[in-house]
Amino acid sequence: MPFKPHFTITPKIATYLMRIEAAKQAVQDLPITPSVLATLRETARVFSTHYSTMIEGNRLTQEQVSKVIEDQQHFPGRERDEKEVLGYYAALEKLEQLAASHSAVTEKHIQTLHALVMAEGRKKVQATPYRDGQNVIRDSRSRRIVYMPPEAKDVPLLMKEMVDWIASTERQELPCPIRAGIAHYEFATIHPYYDGNGRTARLLTTLILHLGGYDLRGLYSLEEYYARNLSAYYAALTVGPSHNYYEGRAKANITKWVEYFCAGVADSFESVKRRAAEAAGSGEPDRSLALRRLDPRQRKALVLFKESDFITSSNVAKLFSISERAARNLLTAWVAAGFVVIAAPAKKSRKYELSAAYKAMFDA
């Protein structure tokens, strides 16, 4: 039987949806400059990475997470935590690329995001297959079983039905925040992997919101909302008369979860509205559309042009922790894309500068 969630759009949900739309429109109308937008976006990515991994027990502070991501700094005894952070950050970058492509959500997209979450910061991964055995969720203290997901043999069909539902409800114009929230719940319910389900569910949620036009320029972090009150997050996800998937969880009424989720989106969007309004006070022209055309690596490379008008493959290799050869290939692709131009053609000391369009934007 195709996936069909049971919920009711209550007055609370309707109110949250109106708040979400109002905040969304307000942020879209704010004239935010490229440099400010880039800073706010990077802050949102760091927040998302910190809070989503913290939910799973990561012990790094927000400041340490930022240092791991931006400076490749290491913290003795926290190597596993560092790898989790780099994995989630890489998945966020991939999510932005998928959202920019405007393609529908697919199972391969989900499997690729999960692969990056579990890949400890490696950029090239193979989409991970679903689990091939039973897994359970236990209380961390008592070790009692709090949830028994479906059997492995049922997972592929359940995931296909969920992805089909996401596509069909987009066509039926079910409000995007509700669609994203239900997808989060259903993914967590299916629990298609042995590990990394929570992080992947939160990434899937954000991907659906971005594809539905609720990206808010990439400035929000729903993960922060969940992490502020973890007990409320888990309580909202725990519905149905039994901890067993086949004994009530699959057909439970999830109105309580949808209310909780929409409240979180409204809270996060209004927080972005306040921060963005404060940052937009300079009165400079808004060039965020031009900035949005850049991929995550190009946006990150803008920091190099704050220090110098010209960059080299060595600068790029150091920034992204890649080989000189990979950096040269990346710069060649950027030249073809019109992001940078060759300023000095010497092979050993070739220099690059921003193209005229992006240089004017950056200088402004």
What is the total count of domains within the chain?
2
Give bridge partners of residue 137 from the DSSP assignment.
Answer: 147
d(CA 183, CA 196): 16
Residues 142 and 24 in one domain: yes
Pair 91, 191 in one domain: yes
End-to-end CA, the chain: 56
Per the structure block, which two tokens stand in for 135?
């897994």
Alpha-carbon distance of 156 to 147, in angstroms, equals 19
DSSP 152: G
In a domain, 211, yes or no: yes
Question: Do 104 and 161 belong to one domain?
Answer: yes
Task: Determine the 3-state secondary structure of 71 from DSSP.
Answer: helix
Structure tokens at 206: 């954000």
In a domain, 240, yes or no: yes
Which pTM value belongs to this model? 0.79
* Separation between Cα atoms, residue 226 and residue 338, nearest integer Å: 40
Type of residue numbered 190: I
HSE, side-chain direction, 13 A CA sphere, residue 185: 33
Contact, 229 vs 267, CB < 8 A? no
Say whether both 275 and 299 belong to one domain.
no
Instruction: Please tell me whether residues 231 and 318 are part of one structural domain.
Output: no
**Is the backbone of residue 321 left (phi > 0), alpha (psi -120 to 50) or beta?**
left
- Classify residue 286: in a domain, yes or no: no
Torsion of CA 327, 291, 170, 109, to 10 degrees: 10
Do 268 and 310 sit in the same domain of this protein? no
Residue 287 domain-assigned (yes or no): no
pLDDT in tens, the chain (364 residues): 678 899 999 999 999 999 999 999 988 887 777 767 777 888 888 889 999 999 988 899 988 998 888 877 888 889 999 999 999 999 998 998 899 888 899 999 999 999 999 987 676 789 999 999 999 888 777 888 888 999 999 999 999 999 999 998 877 778 999 999 999 999 999 999 999 999 999 999 999 999 999 988 888 888 989 998 888 998 888 876 667 888 877 788 999 999 999 999 999 999 988 888 887 765 555 555 556 667 777 877 887 887 788 888 888 888 877 888 888 888 998 988 888 988 877 766 788 988 887 777 666 5
SS3 string, 89-144, reads HHHHHHHHHHHHHCCCCCHHHHHHHHHHHHCCCCCCCCCCCCCCCCCCEECCCCCC
How far is it, in rounded angstroms, from Cα 98 to Cα 111? 13
- Please indicate, yes or no, whether residues 334 and 202 belong to a single structural domain of this protein: no
Q: Which two tokens stand for residue 361?
A: 């934007």
Helices (H), the chain: 11-29, 34-55, 62-71, 79-101, 107-118, 155-171, 176-190, 197-211, 222-228, 230-237, 255-279, 288-292, 296-307, 313-320, 324-337, 356-363
173, 314, 354 from 323: Cα distances, Å: 46, 9, 22
Residue 285 domain-assigned (yes or no)? no
* Domain end among 279, 305, 332: 279
Q: Say yes or no: 340 and 264 in one domain.
A: no
Residue 5 lies in a domain: no
Looking at the fold, whether 249 and 328 belong to one and the same domain comes out as no
| Residue 252 phi, psi dihedral angles, 5° rounding | -70, 155
Residue with tokens 């800073």: 39
What is residue 237's predicted lDDT score, i.e. its pLDDT? 87
Does residue 306 share a domain with residue 261? no
260 lies in the same domain as 306:
no
Same domain (yes/no): 219, 327? no
| Domain membership of residue 34 as a residue range | 11-279
Choose the final residue of a domain: 222, 250, 279. Answer: 279
The answer to whether 201 and 187 have CB atoms below 8 angstroms apart is yes
Q: For residue 197, what is the domain's CATH number?
A: 1.10.3290.10
Picking from 279, 307, 322, the residue at the C-terminal end of a domain is 279
User: Residue 289: inside a domain, yes or no?
Assistant: no
How far apart CA 257 and CA 240 sit, in angstroms, is 11
> Does residue 193 belong to any structural domain of this protein?
yes
CATH of the domain at 315: 1.10.10.10
Backbone angles phi, psi at 231, to 5 degrees: -60, -40
Whole-angstrom distance, CA of residue 7 vs CA of residue 174: 12
Nearest to 24 by CA among 203, 213, 262: 213
Report d(CA 50, CA 223) in Å as an integer: 8
Coil, strand or helix at 146:
strand
Q: Which residue has the tokens 């935590």?
A: 81
